[in-house]
A and B are shown apart, each in its own frame.
Chain A
Amino acid sequence: MKILVCISNVPDTTSKITFSNDNTIFNTTGVQFIVNPYDEIALSKAIALTEGGKGSITVINVGEATTEPTIRKALATGADNAVRVNAFPRDSWFVAKQIAHFADGKDFDLILLGRESIDYNGNQVASLVGELLNIPSISIAKKIDITENTAIVEREIEGGKEIINVSLPIIVGTAEGVAEPRIPNMRGIMSARTKPLEVVEPIDVPLLVKVVQYEIPPSRGAVTLVDASSPEKLVELLHTQARVI
């Protein structure tokens, strides 16, 4: 099985998010970047599916040279080769166009990526690439089983799950629970240095959306503490003051 895993380079989950230049630019000073945690799930699933010589894994990242440590980490975890599209990942549409352009005609059986990136939370790329390549997309999968040419995918829905039967090729956005997380071992780290990492130039994509300004959610006022001996007071406040119950 030939698998493409799309990874994105995102701020570590513990990062405090700040902006500069009148809240127009994400401030990366002091921010540690990691493989998007949902993409790690996708990669872990790809490794589980191809283990024992049952296929190959290519990872693709749209990013500038600074993302290479993240790509090497994916190679160390178990991908066979990598491609970096040499461009700032401007928006989901731009990224999806690059991925679709790369994947077109390469006969990947399965394209996996995280359900969303934890920075811009688009949850768009799986569906966009699916549309561009004219293949089915499942944007939030909780479980993926593949037998030969068919996949059975569990998709999250409000208040339950939906079980879908679909023929390959497909693109799937992975959520927690799809695979046991893999971490690089020493052999992986050593071999990652010599695994191929190809750099390709981006294609032109018209601009459809742009972020004008960021905003930090307003901070709440001081907490109103209720004494532990009279919890019914809390219920009263929620009813009469906050009016939420």
Chain B
Amino acid sequence: MSVLVFVENIEGKFKKSAFEVVSYAKTIANTLNQKLTAISIGDVSDTALESLGKYGANKILNVNSEKLKSFINQAYASIITQAAKQEEATIIVLSNSFSGKGLAPRIAAKMEAGLADGAVGLPEINENNFRIKKTAFSGKAFALTELTSVIKVIALNPNSFELRDEITTPEITTFEADLHSQDFNTIVKEIVRTTDKISLPDAEIVVSGGRGLKGPENWGIIEDLANALGAATACSKPVSDAGWRPHEEHVGQTGIAVSPNLYIAIGISGAIQHLAGVSSSKTIVVINKDPEAPFFKVADYGIVGDAFEIVPKITSAIKALKES
């Protein structure tokens, strides 16, 4: 038996969330005294594949195909399921990324496996049960979930597991999966990347603006601060509803849930729906002119005052810190 981890690449490169799932899966494999096999699909160089050895991959199955360079849900699910069977894997780990969210259930359905999606920690494993903590109620709670099936699929939330170095020299082998035309029903026509922006769900720092900024023309101070910090930008629901910012920046119960190391909320009062989406952030900073804003109750640090005066000063202080 073994643990199988799917490592997602973006244009041939692995991001931090890919290393997180490898390191997480390795920790589980160690607990169970099993080997860790990683599977990569697309066009990834051997050097990139070898980098997975830093976090303990014993073996890497490489599916290198031009046809599979972009994400094709059904084909990917077929490949990973076939690999799991070959490797006799009983635990399959992947990232709860946008693609992972579509992929994990299809794999689980193929294998009649229980799925823990949005996992936020390592499983508690003992002879009789396998339990894992996952987010529920849009960040308002966690659910300790027991997987009772033989095969188990885990989709790990980005930024929920600290990397643990464990150097191995993985054996890289080509994996040939048996695919059919129906696995290729979807055709990716185009990928549009906003290259200048940091992706929100896996950002380590997020700078978020609310109605307190008064209008889209004032977003410069948010962007300047985000640039200084290497952070992603986000917003509250009223802001995206008003069309000041795109929907994909909306953080909260009906938007994206984030769990960065640092979440800076500027001019956001902190409605319960918004707080749900940010409650797993490690450190929360709130800047608001209203001392009664509910957001201060869940913040670690706060400044009561005018964002238009305060934020540029913070940006300068951060630039000074980075230069020193």
Contacts and interface: CB of A to CB of B under 8 A. Distances in A.
A156 interface: yes
Contact of A161 (B73, B192, B283): B192
Contacts of A226: 301-303
Interface residue tally of chain B, by bracket? 35 or more
Contacts of A17: 137, 140-141
A235 B299 CA distance: 15
Interface string B143-162: 11111110000000000000
B102 A127 contact: yes
B64 interface: no
A37 interface: yes
B221 to A, nearest CB: 12
Contacts of B146: 209-212
Contact of A121 (B136, B186, B187, B191): B136
Nearest to A244: B262
Contact of A224 (B73, B101, B300): B300
B103 A208 contact: no
Contacts, number: 275
B310 A228 contact: yes
Interface stretch (B27-35, B39-47, B168-176, B250-258): B250-258
Contacts of A239: 321
A210 B134 CA distance: 12
**Contact residues of B: prevailing secondary structure:** mixed
A70 to B, nearest CB: 17
Contact of A212 (B110, B144, B250, B261): B144
Among A11, A121, A142, chain B packs the most CB atoms within 10 A around the CB of A121
B305 to A, nearest CB: 3
A7 to B, nearest CB: 15
A132 interface: yes
Interface stretch (A71-79, A82-90, A163-171): A163-171
Contacts of B261: 244
B301 A163 contact: no
Interface in A198-245: 206-217, 219-221, 223-228, 231-232, 234-239, 242, 244-245
A214 B141 contact: yes
A217 B186 contact: no
Given A131-B110, A234-B314, A235-B318, A157 B247 contact: no
B111 to A, nearest CB: 10
Report, nearest first, the 9 A-B pairs whose CB atoms are least far apart.
A228-B305, A208-B114, A127-B105, A159-B199, A139-B102, A160-B193, A131-B109, A158-B199, A232-B317
Given A138-B102, A208-B115, A231-B303, 10 more contacts: A93-B114, A120-B136, A120-B137, A121-B257, A128-B108, A157-B98, A167-B185, A176-B250, A212-B146, A226-B302
Interface of B: 10, 15, 70-71, 73-74, 77, 97-99, 101-106, 108-110, 112-118, 131, 133, 135-149, 182, 185-195, 197-199, 201-202, 205, 229, 240, 247-248, 250, 253-255, 257, 261-262, 272-273, 279-280, 282-286, 296-306, 309-310, 313-314, 317-318, 321
23 contacts: A118-B138, A120-B137, A125-B105, A128-B105, A136-B74, A138-B186, A140-B102, A157-B98, A160-B193, A164-B189, A176-B240, A206-B112, A208-B108, A212-B131, A215-B141, A220-B300, A221-B300, A225-B296, A225-B302, A226-B302, A228-B304, A234-B317, A245-B229
